[in-house]
């Protein structure tokens, strides 16, 4: 909830307070859907890990991908690589689960966040309108691709999700 409040104060509201309330996330916590980064016993970051996401990725083949949502880091730990570590761990978990892709969506208007995802290996696949959300879709292979030594970019296959509107 700290991250949600910080984003709201900065004018980048991403989650409404009821979306991150204890009542709303408790079932996901009980199911073990959240990966938690800790420094000692102190939780410093969290990301929700899913093996399906029919709302934002309805056209993705089942068992091909895992999905992350609600990545958040305690403000006092910002800039220390916690987000990247959580993403890398989720990609490794997806790979161990036999999934080829780690996918996510984020607000299409959050340029800084979108740049971050691209810096940590995600590739922009397109946009989708789902209810009131206009999101940018991203994917990252769970097995690192060989980098192009000339440009430092990895080559990969086209995104499987090409639909631009809600289904």
Q: What is the pLDDT of residue 12?
A: 45
pTM of the model: 0.75
Let me know if residue 15 belongs to a domain. Answer: yes
Spell out the per-residue pLDDT of the chain, length 167, in tens.
444 443 333 344 454 555 555 666 566 667 778 888 999 999 898 999 999 999 999 999 989 999 999 898 998 999 999 999 999 999 999 999 999 999 999 999 999 999 999 999 999 999 999 998 899 999 999 987 655 444 444 444 444 443 333 43
Range of the domain at 25: 2-141
Total structural domains in the chain? 1
45-54 contacts at long range (C-beta below 8 A, 24 or more positions apart): 45/71, 45/72, 45/73, 45/74, 45/77, 45/82, 45/83, 45/85, 45/86, 46/70, 46/71, 46/72, 46/86, 47/71, 47/72, 47/86, 47/87, 47/90, 49/90, 49/93, 51/97, 51/99, 53/103, 53/105
Let me know if residue 166 belongs to a domain. Answer: no
Q: What is the pLDDT of residue 165?
A: 39
Let me know if residue 160 belongs to a domain. Answer: no
Q: What is the pLDDT of residue 111?
A: 94
CATH number of the domain encompassing residue 22: 3.40.630.30
Let me know if residue 60 belongs to a domain. Answer: yes
Q: What is the pLDDT of residue 22?
A: 62
Q: What is the pLDDT of residue 5?
A: 41
């Amino acid at each position: 909830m700290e991250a949600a409040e910080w984003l709201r104060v900065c004018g980048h509201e991403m989650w409404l307070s009821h979306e991150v309330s204890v009542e709303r996330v408790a079932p996901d916590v009980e199911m073990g859907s959240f990966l938690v980064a800790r420094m000692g016993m102190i939780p410093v970051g969290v990301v929700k890990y899913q093996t399906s996401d029919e709302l934002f990725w309805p056209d993705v083949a089942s068992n091909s991908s895992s999905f992350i949502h609600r990545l958040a880091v305690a403000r006092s730990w910002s800039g220390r690589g916690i987000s990247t570590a959580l993403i890398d761990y989720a990609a490794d978990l997806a790979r161990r689960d036999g999934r080829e892709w780690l996918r996510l969506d984020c607000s299409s208007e959050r340029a800084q966040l979108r740049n971050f995802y691209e810096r940590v290996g995600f590739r922009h696949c397109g946009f989708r309108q789902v209810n009131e959300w206009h999101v940018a879709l991203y994917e990252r292979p769970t097995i690192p691709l060989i980098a192009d030594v000339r440009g430092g970019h990895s080559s990969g296959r086209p995104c499987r999700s090409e639909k631009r509107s809600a289904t």
